[in-house]
Amino acid sequence: MYSIIELLAVVSSATFGILLARQHRMDFVGAFSVAFIVAFGGGTLRDLCLDRHPLFWIREEHYPVIVFLLALALSFIPKLPQSTERYLNFPDALGLGLFSVVGANAALEEGTSLFIASLFGVVTGTFGGVIGDVICNRVPNLFRSAPLYATCSFFGCWLFFLLNKAGVPETYSVALGISSIVVMRLFAIKFNWRLPQADDGLSSRLTPRL
């Protein structure tokens, strides 16, 4: 089951990366590079930290081939409209949900605590997008005031854990964990849900006076 989820996560994240690259008018090489990094960046960081070898995309050698073919196919799509941003939301949210639960489960298999596993779920789900944003010269959603992103991943991972502990069949706990992340992320974008941040008054008091 987790292999299928991981494959879907790769496809969703790669699609997001390709659309992001096309939005920034990159050619095939640029689109493949961004898609590759978005699809594999978070999982690679997870595997390195957990000392899992070979890396998941080297072990499953068909993953890079799939990303390559997706980039090749989508590179021939006519010029994307200016409103491409809204098309990025669904594959982004889906990839976040799928990779988060897969990453959290991979950490549990390595014997980590639930809290550490939830952090690895967040890393797996978000850090590919972080690197992709940096390449595209965008401030990553993870590091700025933006609709909930890592919070969605963290919440969904814990829902997955708690349902498992409650004896819910794993198929359902996985599905509900993923669904909660995807729905929460899409609602956060639609309704602009954000974490509290320092107000301007506090910010000005903390700014050194020159």
Q: Could you read off the pLDDT of 140-169 as tens digits, one per residue?
A: 877 777 889 999 999 999 999 999 999 999
Query: Alpha helices, DSSP H only, in 24-84?
Result: 28-50, 56-59, 62-74
pLDDT at 207: 47
pLDDT-derived band at 42 (thresholds 50, 70, 90) equals very high
Whole-angstrom CA distances from 209 to 199, 205, 206 are 18, 9, 9
Is the pLDDT score of 206 beyond 50?
no
Is the pLDDT score of 202 beyond 70?
no
pLDDT at 209: 45
In this prediction the pTM is: 0.89
| DSSP 3-state of 137 | coil
DSSP state of 24: T
pLDDT at 84: 60
19 in Cβ contact with 3 (< 8 Å): no
Please report, as a single letter, which amino acid is at residue 37: I
198 is written with which tokens? 């320092």
108 is written with which tokens? 């549990």
